[in-house]
Amino acid sequence: MGGRRLGCIDTKMKITVNVHPNSKIAKIEKKEDDFVHVYVRSPAKEGMANKEAIEKLSEFYDLPKSSIKLINGEKSKKKVFEIEK
């Protein structure tokens, strides 16, 4: 059966995130514009802010980092992440 346990359903969701690099405080906020805002301390250099954003989303959703993937917006403030639960 493909190695899946019975009753286990793969669920994926996509979220649009605005990442704010070089923030004084690392935090996550959901605002009225329907975006998740992730404030990270890392600079937007060499993927450091993206990596920290994945770490913060991982903590927020209580999931391993490996279940969160950046699928669009690698070099943009507006990004789309896919989260697999």
Domain edges within the chain = 12-84
Assign domain 12-84 to its CATH architecture: 2-Layer Sandwich (3.30)
pLDDT at 1 over 50: no
pLDDT at 5 over 60: no
Please tell me the pTM assigned to this model. Answer: 0.83
Pick the more confident residue, 31 or 25: 25
Phi/psi-derived region of residue 12, left when phi > 0, alpha when psi is between -120 and 50, beta in every other case: beta
Contact 71, 81 (CB under 8 A): yes
Which pLDDT score is estimated for 9? 57
